[in-house]
Every structure is written in structure tokens, then in C-alpha cells.
Structure 1
Amino acid sequence: MWQWLVAGVVCVLLSWGYAHRVLVAHAALDRTQRVLVVYDREDPQHGGRTKIATMQRLLASVGVPSQTEALAAYHAGQLTGDKYQGVVTLVNTPNDPVKNAAFFRDRARFTGRKLHVGQGLSAQEATQLNATRRLLDHQQVTLRAGSTWQLLPFKSVITLLQPTGPQTKIGTLRASGGGGATYAYGTVVDQAGYLPELLTTGVAMTCAMRTVATLFDQAADHAPLLTITGVTPYSDLARLRQLSRWLKAAGIPFAVSTTTVSRNTGLQGFATFTKTLREVETSGGVIFLRVPTGAVARTSSGPALEHEMVAQLNQLGQRQVIPVGLSAPGTWNQDAVLRSAGLQRAQNVLFLPDEEETLTRHADNLGATYGQSWFALQLDQLQTPQTGQGTPTTFAVPTAVTVPFPQSTRQLTAQLHRLQDLQVTWYAPQRELTAELTSASATFAYRRGTYQLNGQTVAVSTTNAGIPNYHFTRPTQVTMQNYFKYQGWVLLTFFSLTTVVLVGFLVVGRRLYRRKFFRQDKQ
């Protein structure tokens, strides 16, 4: 009897060990070192939530995975070099500070990269930046970078750095009453960085880009990708054709971010829409498919949303419209379901600013990275009444300068003249871009001007309606995806319950056997 008990327990322990190895394997896959973004408050009334989302998109474009959480949620011992490669402290409400001694103690001991954004810079942080703190009260400050300049919003108090040693300085600040003294806007020294403010417009935004990229050793000079946003199947398609023809004639490469549909695709309207997108492709433009919006996105579960994405891609692919990537609000990258159902099928992702109505399914605030992540920055944000005439010609991270699709002929004309006047060398996908996008059994690819489907070159033409020799299929058993994702936990739970039940049966069986044996002895 005891031999069977020992054998049963050994079998269960071996199975348990297998389940544990599965869990360890899953854990090993998730151990990519992230950057921890800690903010004091969201402060949506003063743009605090926008600053948090901007930092998340900026880290993605630098190629750094992130984790975002409120200062109040931080627990002691969380910030270690084993788990994180860096930490960003984002201060939105300096006049109403949030206290968490454990975070500031752990941050002081942390040896990875550190970036402080906003007020409240400590003396220790200033020392690591080879500087002392200098407070400016009630002064107007002008920021300059190269030939561009920006008048910063008035602040009652701003903390700047007085250098005491070598620094990498990004942008130059000059106060109105500072007697000619200048200060750095962005500062980097080894693994420490500082920005007195995170502004999402103008020269300040481009300086913030370069500061973050420099801190993480990713700074470069990237030509911007001109991107037309807001295109839908219901847009004025004649105007889109006119725009693409003019850009082609002007020698300006561009991208179009567009939504699409998966239903009623047999109607003439959809045929006209896809023909227009093919003309965009033949005019030197590329297509970024905008992730689903509206009721389709709000009411769809994870598997249903993935099914919708695949259906949309297949309907476009059948008509020679081959997207080079996906465009999505930054919140999609902070949601486990939206990442797995949509973004992870793309090598190139263009992250747009968040919308007023954000979509979430399972927000985990764990930002992922992709082959190339584009930081979307509106042209209107670069040219504001508070900025100079110059427009930056290069950016420190891959940047998509976005222009909304014109809603009238007058807007179209004004937009074309505006783009023509810019002294910018635009990013040319035909010379530089390589991309892949998967859709069930199909793999769309773009190789510097050449479109491919499952490795075969596709000759895009405005007159050719599609690819008749290829049949797209949708993925099967999508609903099992989460099961396999958590199979380790399933196995562990199953074998734990099996152990308890088996041991219980053996104990009960042994007691019954002993009772029967004792009765026979008494007889």
C-alpha cells in the first residue's frame, strides 16, 4: 500500500515540477528591464495626464519598455537594478506634493538611469548633474535651440541648474530679468537627466525628445515622416487623390493614417476608397492602418477585436492596399488586450496622442516596444504663436509630423502652400523603410518601395482590383490564446488539486483496509 502512495506522490511532484518550469519560462520571457515612470498626480485640469501619456509615447519611440504607476502606489524595495534599467520622476503638482519616503529612499540608492521632470529637484540629484539649483521667481523665460525659439509659459517658480562641472546641454534658456545669464533646458550627465518642465509643443518638445534619447544612448538625427491623419472611408476621396498627386509632383514623400471597415466591402464606395489608397501608394505614399475606433472598438472583446483587425487587413490586402504599419493612440500600448489583439502584429507602430475618450480593456500600464515606434507630433504644435519661424529639420527619435486631412478646398490649398514653404527634408519610406505586418495566414511586407505578400512581390496598380490568386483566411481558435498564455498557472492549479485528491483517497483507502484487517483478526 505504501509503495503505491510513494509512487503516486512522486508522479504528482514530477508533474508539479514541469508546471513550475513552465511558469519559470514564462517569467523569464517577461523579465525585460523596464523604465519605471512614477508620477505624483494625473492632474488632468492642467495637462498632467497628457504629460504622462507623452512620456510613455516618448519612451516607446526611444525603444525602451516602460511601467507607469502613481507615487502613492509605490512600495518599498520595488525599484531595483534587477527589475528596472531606469526611473523617471514626473512631477505634475509641485505645490501639492505627494509623500512617499520609500520611493525617494530607493531612488537615491538606485544605480540605473534617472530622469527628473518638473519641480522638486533634490540637492542630491543636482549634485549628480554636476550643478547647483537656481530658482527663478516670476520671470519670463525664452528657450532657444539652433535657429528656433519658443517663449515658455509663465511660471511663478522654475528650478534651473547652475553648472559646476561638465554636462550635456540641450537647448538654452534665457530669463527676461536674468542679466544675460543662460541655463540648459535639458541636462544629461552620465546616467542622470533633468527637464524643468515637459511641454508638448514647440522647441520644448523637441528638446525633451533629445534629452530622453541622450539619456538612454539612443539620440540620432531622424528626418520627420509627413503623415496625413484623419482619413476614413467616408472622407472626400477626390480631395485625397488631389493631395497625393500634389505631394508626388512636389517630391514630398508622405504617409496616410486611415481607418477602414470589414463589412459592406462589396459596395462601390469601398472599391472607390481602396482605389484611392492604391493611388496614394503609387504616388510615393505609404499607409498606416488606424486601429478600430467608435462602437466597433468599444463593444468588442479581445478575441473579437483581433478578429476585426484581421478582417480589415484581409479586405485591404485583397485589393492591393498593403499597410506598412498600424497607427494608434498611446493608450493602446498601455493595455494588455489591445496590445495582443492589435499592436503586436505590426513591426512599425505610429503612436498618436490620446483621444478625449480613451479605450481600455485590461490596462496594465506596461508599455511595449516594437521594431520602430513613431512619435506623432502635430505640425501645429511645432509652429505656434509662441514659437519662432523656424521648424526643426531633424528629431532625436523617429517622429511623424502629422497634418490633419483638409476638410475643404481652401484648407487643402493653404496646407499645400504651408508644406511647400517648409525647409524640411522629409523621411522617404521608398529609400529607408522596411516593415512587416501579419494578418492570420498572410504576411504583408514593405522593402524600400517594394510591396510583398508572403514573400512574393506585389505590383500595386490603380487599375488592378486585387490579388485573385491568393485567398485570405482568418485565424482559428483565437479564444484559446489566453489559455496558452496562462498554461503554467493552469497546470500548477490542476496538479495541486490532483495531489490533494489523490492523497485524500489514499488515506481513506488505507483506513478502510486497516479496519477490515482488524475485524478479521478479531473473528
Structure 2
Amino acid sequence: MQMKNKLLTLFVIFVGLISINWHSPSVQAATTIQNPSKVLVVYDSLNERNHRQEDVQTLSRMLMSMGQQVTMMAMSDYHAGMISKGHYQAVITMINWPGMKFDNPAFDRDRHQFNGKKLHIGPLMTADEKQNFPGNWQEINQQSFILKGQNNRYEQQVDFQRQIQLLDKVTGNEQALSQLVAANGTNQTYPFGIINGQDAYLPFFSSKGATLLSSIQLIAQWLGVHGNYVPYVDVRDFTPLSSFTATKEFIKNLDSLERNLIITTTSTTQNTDTKTFKNYLKFLRTMTRDNRAVVYLNVPALNGVDSSNDDTLMNMLTQEISTLIENKIFPLGISAPTYWNFDKYYQLNALNFGDATLLYNQINNQDYHTQTSTAKAYQTMFFAIPHSALKNIKWNINGRYTDFTFPMPVTVDYHFPNSKAKAEKINREIKALPFAPENQYLYQFNTGISTQTQNLRGKDGVISLNGTPVSEIDFHQIKQQTAGIRKNQDQTGHLTTRRIVDKINNVLIVIIVVTLIVLFGMLAIGRKLYLRMFKNRNLKRTKGAKKK
């Protein structure tokens, strides 16, 4: 037995050695928020049948952009004690498919005993939840409403409500930031969203329109998140294959927009000597001239990533960043689908390159590598609102722009145009936005991207590389140095030193595996010899007893 325990101890040590040698440091750690508030979101269903999964994803993005460490969990996956074990500061119940009436008694009990912040979104409030809000609850069916924002800054007729629970009025210390006005001619008003101490309630949620704006305000107020951010405009998915004509038209109108843009670009590590790629680089330099736009690097399409090699994604992004830098293009953040922040592999090998991220919804084609329920809280995270989500909102404006601001960094999201006509349309839509132009990105934010050898930083109006302003750097020399390094790369893009480390790792693993096989073989042989000796001894005793 002692021999077996020793072998098991050796096995644990060997496994530890494997893990140490097998994984080498990859990306410099991004600046994440120290000790962020931990929020648990328990939703009843993604409700894919009614296409409501985007609402769940939007809520998670919203919370992340407010600096929260978010854990998302389906109600069916919740087990007793998870709230207390998770040490959460806030718990959100989201009813996304009320018709199914999903329930989890263990969650209901734990939520009732939880002493932190609690928010209920949607119908089907329990009796103990309603008790946290003084007043008379009303069950209203088959009704249309107009939602009016705080101080009547905006309004919109919202989706028809089949069933909704509302308080008739706000009393005592409760807060209501927006109002619902019945559209049946009675003009009856109800509070949309209520905060009473640590408890809050939203009667419904949406990823678009006035409902989204009012939800953002209430959730931020409930969490104690305060800020005054005017939205930037991001134009997403500029690639080397983007339309030449559309790009020229888009660039021609940049100056007339009078605002900083965030251009998210998907680069490549292949065919970088072609005229198409050189035009792509030229266009990016033109767009970022005089800080008219800042660049965020979008993560690559997964069909171009070898998921069997843990370093492929990291190496690909490292090479893309180096190529952009040597061509005087300076990405200051990472752009990715929301679900990438719910994957440990993507967090480590992609999102960690930047301390600023811009996340957007991607409902289909979600290809996880190592899925996790908890997202990281990065220092700066932009909440991208599709421009279509702001349509049909009536803004009450005195002058050219609204004074409405957001409590966290926000962008109005457009796709890069693929035709001259669409470029002209985007130009008109951006000019018509109700938000004042923002032109101070490099002064307002301190963001950047880091690899093992390059540290880009945009701060106080200056972009610097490894601490030196880029205006003082000889990029021709950097290009020559990078070209020399790439000569030592193999077909997979790994550096020669990395190949040597990999070979050493492989040799060590073979030695360790062979050693373990020999040790366990000896254990098996020793066990057989011991059993045989034990049987022979018992047999002799039995024969001796018979003779007596």
C-alpha cells in the first residue's frame, strides 16, 4: 500500500512537470479590473424559438461594459448553494420565455436568503420578490405602451405586451427613471423599472429601442455605476477584401463626419505582399491620419485557426499586430463576438492582447474551444449598439444634439459598406445621429495592445510603442528587423526557439510516459509476486493443518 501511495505521489509530480513545461507564456496579461463586482445572471431560457437569445447576450454585454464580472447560468443548471459559494454581490433573475414557466425551487430559496443586490427582469415575480416593493401590483394583459425616458429625453411605442406586472405608482424611497404611458387613450402612467434599496425590477427587456436605453439607465443606477459617455461610432469588419470603390467613398466623407471613429479590422497573415493587402494598409493609414479614427483588431474567423494547436491563435494575432505596427497602423483594442469572453482559451489567447475590448452580438456559428460561464472584466469595454436598434426613437432635443449620455463606454455600430451607395448611406446616417460628435478618444481613454515584444499605448493624445511616441520611431528599421525574424519561422508561424522548446517538451513527455509505464509495470509484477507468495504460504499452512 505504501509503495502504491509513493507511485501516485510521483505521478502527481510528473503531471505538474508536464503542465509547467508544456505551456509557455504567450500574451502579456491585459489590464483587467481588480476585484470587480461579481454578478450572477440566471435566465429561464435562451428562447431560440422566438429569437430572444440576443436579449440574453445583450444583457451580459451590458453588464460587462459596466465593469462587472458576469456569470451566466440557465435556471435548469442552478444547484442549491451556488449563490453563496460564488460570493456574488448581485443576482439577476431574467424571465426570457414566460410562457414556459420554468422554475427552480433551489434558486428561489437561495435568492430569497441572499442579502445582496437583486434584480428581476420580466413577469412571473414570486410573492417574496413583490414584497420588496411597496405599492399595489397590477396584472395587465394585451396592452400597448409608450415608453418615455428620464426627463422625457426620448420616447417610443414599445412592443405589444401580452402580460405584464406593474406597480400603480412609486411610493416612499423608490426610484423610477422612466415611465410607461398606456396607448389605449387613458394616458394611465406606470413606472418602468423600479429601484428600492438593493432590489430592482424591470417589467421587460429588449436589445433595442427605448427599452434598451431605459434598461441601461436603471441597471447602472442599481449597480452604482456612474459615468457620462457620449457614444462613439464604430465601423466593423474592414478587411483586405473590402470593396475598393466603397472604401474610397467612405474615406472621402471622413472629414465631414467631424467625429472620431473606431474602425474594427480583420487582418491576415497570408498574402501580405499582394497589391490588395498593400491597398488595405494604405486605406487604414488614411483613415487613422490625424487621429480621425482609431483601430481595433478584430479576432480572426475560426475556420482559419487550427484548434488542435493551442498556440495557433496567439501566434496568428501576434503576427497580425506586428504587421500592422511595422506599417504604421496602431491597434489600441480588440474586437470580438460576445461569446469569446465566455471561453477561457479565447480570453487567454485573443482578448488578453488588449486592455480594451469592443464586443458585439453573434447569435449563430458560436464555436467554443473551452467554454466557461464567467466572463472577464476588462479595464475598458465598449457596448456596441447596432444603429438599427436606435431607429424609431423620438428624441426631444433642444438644439442639434440630445444631452442624453450613457453610464459606460458605448458605440453605435455599423458594418463597413460593400458598395458606394452604402458608403453614402452610412455617411448620411452618422451625420443624422442625435449624439454630439466625440473627438477625444486618445484623451478620454488609456488603452492599448501588448505582445511579448511590443507594447502599444494610446494615452494623453499620444500613441507610443514601448514607451516611445510613434512619431519618433524609424519604422523602416522595425520592418527590417521583423522581416529578419520571420525568416526563422516555420510553416505554422512558430519561431525557431519555440520549435526547440516544443521538441524538448515532447522528449520530456516521452521520458515521463515511459517512466510511468515502467513504474506501473513494476507495481503490477510486484503485486502478482506478492499474491503468489501469499497463496503459497496459505497453501503450506493448509497442508500442515491436514497432517495434524
Displacement of 1:478 in angstroms is 10
Please tell me whether the aligned partners of residues 314 and 349 of structure 2 are also in contact (alpha carbons under 8 angstroms): yes
User: One-letter code of the match for 1:378?
Assistant: P
Kindly indicate whether the alpha-carbon contact (under 8 Å) linking 2:258 and 2:437 is maintained by their aligned counterparts in 1: no
Deviations 1:281-303 (CA, angstroms, capped at 9, x unpaired)? 11420001111115214756442
Asked if residue 140 in structure 1 is aligned to residue 147 in structure 2, the reply is no
Q: Which amino acid aligns with 2:466?
A: N
- Please give the root-mean-square deviation of Cα atoms over the aligned residues, in Å: 3.9
Using the TM superposition, give the Cα deviation of residue 112 of structure 1 relative to its aligned residue in structure 2, in angstroms. 1.2
Q: Relative to structure 1, is the Cα distance of residues 242 and 466 closer, same or farther in structure 2, using a 3 angstrom cutoff? A: farther
Aligned positions of 1:30-179 closer than 5 A: 34-80=38-84, 83-145=87-149, 146-162=152-168, 163-177=170-184, 179=186
Amino acid at match of 1:159: Q
**CA–CA separation in structure 2 for the residues paired with 1:410 and 1:423:** 23
1:353 alignment counterpart: 361
Quote how far apart the aligned CAs of 1:44 are.
0.8
**Following the alignment from structure 2 to structure 1, what is the Cα–Cα distance between the partners of residues 224 and 37?**
15
- Residue 214, structure 1, aligned to residue 221, structure 2: yes
Letter in 2 for 1:199: S
- The residue type paired with residue 431 of structure 2 is Q
Contact 1:303 1:478 (C-alpha < 8 Å) held by counterparts: no
Amino acid at match of 1:417: R
Is the counterpart of residue 281 in structure 1 residue 308 in structure 2?
A: no
CA distance in 1, matches of 2:86, 2:427: 51
Counterpart CA distance in 2 for 1:38 and 1:102 is 12
Q: Which of 357, 371, 374 is 2:382 aligned to? A: 374
| Residues 271-280 or 101-110, more deviating | 271-280
Shift of 1:466: 7.9
User: Following the alignment from structure 2 to structure 1, what is the Cα–Cα distance between the partners of residues 215 and 39?
Assistant: 17
Matches within 5 A, 1:381-460: 381-384=389-392, 393-427=404-438, 428-459=440-471
Spell out, residue by residue over 1:246-297, the C-alpha distance to the aligned partner (whole angstroms, 9 max, x if none).
3334421111111110111122221211121111111420001111115214
The residue matched to 1:234 in structure 2 has which SS?
coil
Does the 8 Å CA contact 1:347/1:437 hold for their aligned counterparts? yes
User: Is this contact kept in 2: 1:259–1:291, CA < 8 A?
Assistant: yes
Q: Distance in 1 between matches of 2:306 and 2:124?
A: 39
TM-score of the aligned structures, taking structure 2 as reference length = 0.78
Q: 1:185 to 1:441 in 2, by over 3 A?
A: same
**SS of aligned partner of 2:129:** helix
Residues 191-219 of structure 1 deviation map (CA, whole Å, 9 limit, x = unaligned): 11111111111111111111221121113
Contact 2:36/2:68 (8 A) holds in 1: no
The amino acid that maps onto 1:330 is T
SS of 1:72 mapped into structure 2: helix
Gaps of 5+ in 2: 20-32, 487-493, 506-514, 534-548
Q: Paired residues, what number?
A: 488
Q: Work out the CA distance in 2 between the residues paired with 1:76 and 1:113.
A: 19
Alignment partners' CA distance in 2, 1:223 and 1:31:
27
Matched-pair contact (CA < 8 Å) for 2:180–2:190: yes
AA of the residue aligned to 2:421: R
2:250 corresponds to which of 243, 246, 257: 243
SS in 2 for 1:134: strand
SS in 2 for 1:135: strand
Superposition pairs for residues 161-200 of structure 1, below 5 Å?
161-162=167-168, 163-177=170-184, 179-200=186-207
Which TM-score applies when normalising by structure 1? 0.82
Q: For the residues of structure 1 that align with 2:97 and 2:236, how far apart are their CA atoms?
A: 33
In the TM superposition, residue 86 of structure 1 has moved relative to its aligned partner by 1.4
Residue 321 of structure 1 corresponds to which residue in structure 2? 329
Change (3 A) 1:238 1:149: same
Letter in 2 for 1:266: D
* Counterpart secondary structure, 2:458: strand
Aligned 8 A contact 1:244 1:285 in 2: no
| Deviation, structure 1 residue 360 | 1.2
| Aligned twin of 2:352 | 344
Q: Which amino acid in the other structure matches residue 77 of structure 1?
A: G
- Secondary structure of 1:286's counterpart equals strand
How far did residue 174 of structure 1 move? Answer: 0.6
Structure 1 residues 63 and 479 mapped into 2: Cα distance closer, same or farther (>3 Å)? farther
Q: Which moved more, 1:351-360 or 1:251-260?
A: 351-360
Name the structure 2 match of 1:516: none
Q: Deviation digits for residues 288-327 of structure 1, max 9, x if unmatched?
A: 1111115214756442112211121111111111101011
Moved more, 320-329 or 397-406: 397-406
| Distance in structure 1 (CA, Å) of the matches to 2:267 and 2:476 | 17
SS in 2 for 1:194: strand
Q: Structure 2 CA distance, aligned partners of 1:348 and 1:457?
A: 20
In 1, are the aligned partners of 2:445 and 2:459 still within 8 Å (CA)? yes
SS of match in other structure, 1:121: coil
- 2:259 matched to 1:252? yes
Q: Distance in 2 between matches of 1:446 and 1:220?
A: 21
Deviation of the 1:42 alpha carbon:
1.5
Q: C-alpha deviations, 1:497-517, integer Å up to 9, x for none? A: x99x99x999x99xx9xxxxx
Is this contact kept in 2: 1:375–1:400, CA < 8 A? yes
Matched letter for residue 129 of structure 1: F
Please tell me the residue identity of whatever aligns with 2:222.
L
CA distance in 1, matches of 2:235, 2:144: 35
What is the aligned counterpart of 1:227 among 221, 234, 243? 234
Letter in 1 for 2:463: Y
- SS of the equivalent of 2:240 reads coil
Structure 1 residue 395, shift from structure 2 partner: 1.5
Quote the offset at 1:164 in angstroms: 3.3
Report the more deviating stretch, 106-115 or 146-155. Answer: 146-155
How far, CA to CA, are the matches of 1:466 and 1:127 in structure 2?
A: 69
Which residue pairs with 2:27 in the alignment? none
Q: How has the CA–CA distance of structure 1 residues 387 and 431 changed in structure 2, closer, same or farther, with 3 Å as cutoff?
A: same
Aligned-pair distance for 1:240? 3.0
Distance across 2 between alignment mates of 1:480 and 1:213: 48
Find the aligned partners of 1:310 and 1:375 in 2 and give their Cα distance: 25
CA contact under 8 A between 1:241 and 1:280: conserved in structure 2?
Answer: no
Identity of aligned pairs, percent? 23
Is 1:261 aligned with 2:268?
A: yes
* Structure 1 residues 300 and 371, CA gap change in structure 2 (3 angstroms): farther
Matches within 5 A, 1:467-486: 467-468=478-479, 471=482
SS in 2 for 1:332: helix
Contact preservation (8 Å) 1:209, 1:397: no
